[in-house]
Amino acid sequence: MKCPSCGAQSSRVLDSRPVEEGNSIRRRRECEGCGKRFTTYEMIETAPITVVKKDGSRELFDRHKLATGILRACQKRPVDVEQVVSEIETEIVNAMLGEIPSHQIGELAMRKLREIDEVAYVRFVSVYREFSDIETFLAELYRLRGTRDRGSEGTV
């Protein structure tokens, strides 16, 4: 495994543990060249998934692209972005569709974030749905608050 700091090809594994329901392995490594520590993930290789974009074009599913969007929404929030991305990817792979519309990936991300962190959810939704004014933003906040308030009815 190539060290992200110095590029050395040799590293040793310090710790390995299963993550996301045993579908991948998280490995903590130490570079034998510079001594820096880094984390890698090993996962089962699956058939490629094609994402169908809004304009009808197709591209391969890019986990990094999904992670980047979610990471932006979760900045300075107590959210395990890697776990969220892994759960979304697992749902996509388990659906065994071969092709998935991009809007379904966005909907999965919104659902996961809404369950985990409302601030990250609102950040993600504001970009994903391309909110153009404060009224649209406030409407989503009121909708979120109304759903949360209804869910707590009957509790003390």
Q: Where are the domains of the chain?
A: 8-44, 46-151
Helix axes 134-151, 118-128, angle to 10 degrees: 140
- Split at pLDDT 50, 70, 90, the class of 149 is low
**Cβ contacts of 37 within 8 Å, gap of 6 or more:** 14, 28, 29, 30, 31
pLDDT per position as a tens digit, 25-81:
999 999 999 999 999 988 777 678 899 998 999 999 999 999 999 999 999 999 999
Give strand pairing partners of 65. none
Q: How much is the pTM?
A: 0.60
